[in-house]
Every structure is written in C-alpha cells, then in structure tokens.
Structure 1
C-alpha cells in the first residue's frame, strides 16, 4: 500500500510550467476564484507574469441605471464590490506585470478603482478605457501620470479633452496609438494636433465625422501612418436650413492628403451593415443593441481586441 501511494503524483508536484499553461486557459473570474490558495506551488504558478500580461475585464459590465443628474448613472453596490474584489486579487497576483488593461465600455469604474489600478500597473503599455461618468479629472490625471510607458489607448470621447491629451503628451513619451469610440469634433482634433502631433495610428471608426475635422487631422498630424474612418458618417457643413450634408464618396482632395499615409482605411458602402448602423444611430453607435463583443472590432489589427 505504501509503495502504491508513493507512485501517485500530487497536484502540487506538477511542474510549474505545466500549471502555468493550464492556468492560461482560465479567464479572470477563474484565476481569482481561489486557486492560488490551493497550495504554494499553485500560488507560484498563479503569479507567473505570463498570466498577467493582459488583464481583461471586457466580459464584466456594471449593473446600472441611467439617472438625470451627474454622473448620469447609478451603479449597483454589488457591481462595485465585485469589481473591487477582482481588482485586488488580480493586481496582487500580477505583481506589477500587467502590460495591457481592458475594461468593458459599460463598466462604470470609480476614481478610487482607477487610481488603485494605475498604482499597481506601472508597466502598462495599452489601455482600453470604459465610459468615465464616475471618473473625475483629478483621478484620470493621476492615473495617466503613473503610466509612463503607455503607448496605446482606446477611449470614449469627452467634453473637454485637452487636459487628458496634455497629460499624455507630458508623461507618456512613447504614446503612438489612439482609438476614439465616439465623435471626434473640431475641439478634439485641434487638441490632437496641439498635444499629440507625433501620433502614428488613429481610429475614428463608426462615428460622425465632419469633413473639415478630417482635413485638419490629415494636415496637422504629419507623423500619422494609419487612419481608420471605416463606417463613419462623413458630413460637411451646409447653410440653413440643411446645416449638414452627408458625403457619399471620398473626394480627390482628401485622397490626395491621405496619400502620404501607409494605410487609409475607409468604408462608405450603402450595403455595409456597420455603415447602415452608424447612420441609423446618427453617428453615435449604440453598441448595446448589437452583437456582444462587436465593439472590440477594429480594422487596424493592433487596436482590435
């Protein structure tokens, strides 16, 4: 009996590299479910940097209702507690090895949750931000100042973007990629030109885009290599009573300006489903109405999730 028992291998005796490969198949909920407490060997495997290069919360949405006053959403307390628990466990296990951080666009995080995360992810290279109804200017700026290695960001539009782009320009010297999930107006485009003139990749897909804004971007961002305006509703100002008219085809002036780019990605096809959806939603796509995970798509490979 003793001889047969001695031939039985225990889970804690399994090679660490094999454990890590197994744990790589788990999602964030499974990794934080308590497996790190099984034994010291499992905890060591759970802390391996390979598991935490990307911290993906894209499957986690807040349970919320919209309200008429700021911050215009009320988040259920259980949602907050769930996110806080997941953040604390995962950021403890990751030991500052997170390089990509992804939030669902309907995950309404707080200032405290954002800054707590920023302090524990100093090596962050890529950030996919959620809607920031509950994030104040001070919280966002504090987080950006801690992400000195940041290179890429996906973000919703905000009413007053200059301060954010100024912080990125000051503290994130390697920043080169930006995706905006929402309209890019003349103020935003001017801010890009002022604070991020060396931007290399920009995606404005699935939004309303004025012709003069597009021309400003092409004229001002001289280091731009890739521009994605797929499925955008391209419009130009018109005098009253029309105010604006939809452009059905990219004209020669814009194509000439874009010819210096390595890649100018467009789609303005009436038969394209995404183009139809952008027009139906008047240039501000209601992603919640469509297939789950559709918001992760991008024609620029480095920006797709």
Structure 2
C-alpha cells in the first residue's frame, strides 16, 4: 500500500509535526505578546521553540489598543521576561506605551548588540533616561521614536554615541495652529548623525534653515520624509535641492498612507473664535470580564506551573 502524507478526511492537522524551521518561521510572524500568551501553549514542541534564545532576537511588543486582553498583563514585566529569554541575542525590539526609563535600562543592560530600536507613545521615558542608555547602543543602525516627549537634547547624545546609525524616524503629532518654529531637532540631527541614509520627521517644526543644515551635514541621505512639516517652504531653492539630491522624497502635504502613522493626522482647525479648536478625547472603555485562556490544547508539561507560563500576572 502506498502511503500518503495528506491529512486524512475529517482529521485536523497536527501542528506539532511541522518541521522546527517551519514552526520558527510561523512564530516569527507573531508579536511577543501573542507568543507568550498563546503560541507557546499549543504543544510541547512549540513551547521548546519559544524558549530558544534565537526566537527572541526580535521582540515586538507593540500593543493593539483595540485588544482588551492587554489590560490584564503587566506589559513591562512581560517585556523583561522576553528580554531574559533572548539571553543576550536581542538585536531588534519594539516597545509601545508602557516603556519607562527603568525598562529601557534593563533592555540595554541585557544586550549590547541591539541594531534596531523602536519607541512609540512612551511618555514615561525621559530625556535623561534615553541619554543614559545611548552609550550602550554602539551597534544601533535603525532608531524610531514616535509620539514620545523627547527634546533635541537626547538626540544629540544618541547621534554622538551611535556612529552606525543609518535610519532615524522622529515623528510627532502635527498642528496647523498655532504655528511654532524650531530647528532644535534638525540641528541636533545635522550635528551628530552624519551617516544617515533615511530620515523621517513627521510633524516637525523645522524651517528651511533646519532643512538646509540637514542636507549640508548628512551627505549620504537617500530618503527624506517631511510630511506634516508645514513650516517648510519648498517652492524655491530648497525644494529643488531636495528633488535633485534625495531619491525618495515625501513632501509636507503628501498623504499619510501608513496605518502606524494615522494618529499624526490631527488638524485642530483655525484659530477663529467662531470655529474653536477641539481636542479629541481618548476614552478607553473596558468591561469587567476577565480574559480566560482556552485549555483545549494538547500541551502537557508537569514541570511547569502557572507562574512559568504567566509570570507577568503575579
């Protein structure tokens, strides 16, 4: 009788039978929260792969605010747990919302090989906190800071401490009114980040003077995203210089077409008293029901207790 590898009719696929490299590829498409709260409990094989330090070379802790499950976790503790699992192999990490000075220090103390760091909505990371860890990021090549509260001062420290930095995103919410001008960020970048190839400055307050400083001092720049930088006047010499030098240029009025950047698109209207600006309220509404994990899997491990699975709940 000729054997067949096809799944018999009516029989579900046994995910534990997948080759380890295929399973690892599947898990790499999940975020750290999904791995720690769900994937590692599918079966013993998946659990073993989820404990492999190489699985944690990339830690994606981005939070979906529409998913109510995250409110039941200590996300900072969960992130530390993921960093511990990397055993120093961490090279790429995303931290959303819950980032603090202490967490950033823990991450950088645990791995000196980080090449990519993304911080978004991390209002509890201070200028001093970011400046303090910059020297621990000598291999950093890609840095994204979006919707945080940093000034230009830690940017100067990061630029001076991270000579390999090739890509920098420094994004802010934009306002048409009131119009404020500042080239502090631009001058910090121009003064220290001379090896940049890619720069994104959504919603920045820079003027043409700041833009000229960047173009003068960042000679390798290939892509430049200036969307929502409404203080820029690019109809003359500055615009022509950008068009001639930059291979991929996004202009202030170009549309925001990336879902991650949608919350920068805030127009508070004019300052006309007859049409007052309104500030959007953010109201997170959650019910009181707890989230329960399904026990309908084939995972059995007598050496593991609840704390081993959910240490961030205790």
TM-score range, shorter chain: 0.5 to 0.7
In the other structure, the counterpart of 1:113 is 103
In the other structure, the counterpart of 1:91 is 83
Cα shift at 1:108: 3.7
Matched, 1:148 2:138: yes
Q: Which segment drifts farther, 189-198 or 10-19?
A: 10-19
Equivalent residue for 1:179, pick from 169, 179, 196: 169
Equivalent-residue separation in structure 1 for 2:189 and 2:15 (angstroms): 53
Q: With structure 1 as the length reference, what TM-score do the two structures score? A: 0.65
Equivalent-residue separation in structure 2 for 1:225 and 1:189 (angstroms): 17
Cα shift at 1:83: 1.2
Equivalent residue for 1:227, pick from 221, 224, 227: 224
Alignment of 1:1-305 (within 5 A): 15-33=19-37, 36=40, 41-48=45-52, 51-59=55-63, 82-104=74-96, 107-156=97-146, 158=149, 160-170=151-161, 172-182=162-172, 185-235=182-232, 247=233, 250-258=234-242, 259-266=244-251, 268=253, 272=255, 278=265, 280-281=267-268
More strand by share: 1
Change (3 A) 1:257 1:288: farther
Change (3 A) 1:39 1:88: farther
Change (3 A) 1:26 1:214: closer
Q: Which segment drifts farther, 88-97 or 27-36?
A: 27-36
Q: Which segment drifts farther, 131-140 or 112-121?
A: 131-140
Cα shift at 1:263: 2.7
Residue pair 1:203, 1:229 contacting (<8 A) in 2 also: yes
Cα shift at 1:190: 1.5
Equivalent-residue separation in structure 1 for 2:240 and 2:102 (angstroms): 47
Structure 1, unaligned runs of 5 or more: 1-9, 62-77, 236-246, 290-305
Q: Give the paired residue count.
A: 245
Change (3 A) 1:281 1:233: farther
Structure 2, unaligned runs of 5 or more: 1-13, 175-180, 270-278, 283-314
Cα shift at 1:133: 3.1
Q: With structure 2 as the length reference, what TM-score do the two structures score? A: 0.63
Cα shift at 1:94: 2.4
Residue pair 2:143, 2:167 contacting (<8 A) in 1 also: yes
Cα shift at 1:50: 5.6
